Amino acid sequence: MDYTFYMLPLSIIQKAERGSDENGTFLLFNERKIYRLHLVGSIAAIEINHETGSGYLILDDTFYTILVHFQQPIFKYVEDMKKGDLVEMLGSIDIYNDSVTMSLTVIKSITLERYCFNKLESLRILREVST
């Protein structure tokens, strides 16, 4: 089954057990296979390479960072973004050099209020799945 986990803290993501099966790469969290992540954070770095048609950004959630890579169709959404912008994103889990990374599917800029709401929601969800 394809699980999307909403707002899981990056420190937990980096320490989670990893695996892959016919559905793709996943993280094992509370006996659930998580294939996609819904995250919020600020952009710590961003790089777009028009020649190769690819790019990456580093998402920071104040506790940890994750490398997020994307291809040319996503350029139109990230070209105006810069370091420090608050974003909400959805993507698939990848493993690169034994680190968890994310392949970006959707990204949007958010307000500080939305960021705070999502962080509070992540704590509520984390508490629910941990009990």
Integer distance in angstroms from the first to the last C-alpha of the chain?
22
**Contacts within 8 Å (CB) and 24+ apart, 71-80:** 74/104, 74/107, 75/48, 75/50, 77/106, 77/107, 77/108, 78/46, 78/48, 78/107, 79/48
Pick the CATH number of 3-130 from 2.60.40.420, 2.40.50.140, 3.30.70.20, 1.20.1250.20: 2.40.50.140
pTM of the predicted protein model: 0.86
Q: Residue 26 burial by CB count (10 A; 0-12/13-18/19+): exposed, middle or buried?
A: buried
* 131 residues of the chain, pLDDT tens digit each: 456 666 777 877 877 889 899 988 998 887 888 899 889 999 999 999 999 999 999 999 888 899 999 999 999 999 999 999 999 999 999 988 888 899 999 999 999 999 998 888 878 877 776 66
Provide the pLDDT for residue 1: 46
